[in-house]
Amino acid sequence: MKTNCLFIVNGLGMGNSTRCFAIMQHLHDRGASIHVLTSGNGLEFFQDKKQVTSLSPMASFYYAVRHGRISAWHTVTSLRVLAQRAREKTAQLEKLLSAIRPDVAIIDSEYTVGPLRQRAIPVVGLNNSEVVVSEYLRAANNPPSIRSHFW
């Protein structure tokens, strides 16, 4: 019996998608079925990958921008919209879980996990944010333009 794997990938950048794809290739070579739920650039990246059995779109969170820069304050003031987006993401995940019934979920920088826990689906988290933050805090002379990412 094939293992049914669901990858839930934050697709805003390409790092998460490429990291997950390296793992997908190995799992596919071992007979696993690979399903992907992603957003943004991830949809385009995964669309032609032969290892991917199914590709589904997912709404994404965002940072508010003011004057071409990420604005923590404007992000906070958009919390109502972000709460609606969270409900939308949960509904999209629940619908996909009912359709594919995965044996395991692999997540990368995506945090909509409630439906997975409710169904007792094992979750494997791939995320290197703690390394990024640690290295930022340890480095001297960080560019001011990225400081807002670490507040």
> What structural domains does the chain harbor?
4-150 (3.40.50.2000)
**pLDDT tens by residue, 33-89:** 999 999 999 999 999 999 999 999 998 877 777 888 877 787 778 888 888 989 999
Looking at per-residue pLDDT, the higher value among 7 and 77 belongs to 7
Q: Is the dihedral of CA 44, 48, 52, 53 positive or negative?
A: positive
How much is the mean pLDDT over the chain? 89
Q: 57-71 as b/e, with b when 16 or more CB fall inside 10 Å?
A: ebbebeeeeeeeebb
- pLDDT the model gives residue 115: 96
